[in-house]
Amino acid sequence: MAIRKCACVSDYQDKKYGRGRRVHNELGRDRGGRSGGLRCSVCTDTKSAPVIKATKGVKVKYKK
C-alpha cells in the first residue's frame, strides 16, 4: 500500500490523506522480482512503481 497523488475524486480519502492523495495497491511482481506498478484504489488507474536507488555507503543484500 502506498499513498500517491491521483486526479480522481474521493471525499473520504481527501479528508483522511489530504486533497488529491489516494491509496494505491501494489500489483504483482514479474519473474525478475520487479514490481508491476501501483493501482489507485478509487479509479483503478495504474502507475509505474518508483525506482529505488541506493545511496552511497548503503550496503544492499541480495538473496542468492
In a domain, 57, yes or no: no
Indicate the number of domains in the chain: 1
pTM: 0.64
Q: Is the pLDDT of residue 62 over 80?
A: no
Residue span of the structural domain in which 33 resides? 2-47
What one-letter code names the amino acid at 13?
A: Q
For 25, residues 6+ apart whose C-beta sits below 8 A from its C-beta are 1, 38, 39, 41
22 inside domain = yes
Q: What is the pLDDT of residues 6-48, one digit of tens each?
A: 999 999 999 999 999 999 888 877 677 766 788 999 998 888 7
**Domain annotation covers residue 52:** no
Domain assignment of residue 19, yes or no: yes
Q: What pLDDT does residue 11 have?
A: 95
Within 10 A of 10 (CB to CB), how many other CB atoms are there? 18
* Torsion of Cα atoms, 53 then 18 then 47 then 23, to 10°: 100
Q: Say which residue, 16 or 55, is predicted with more confidence.
A: 16
Decide if pLDDT at 4 tops 70.
yes
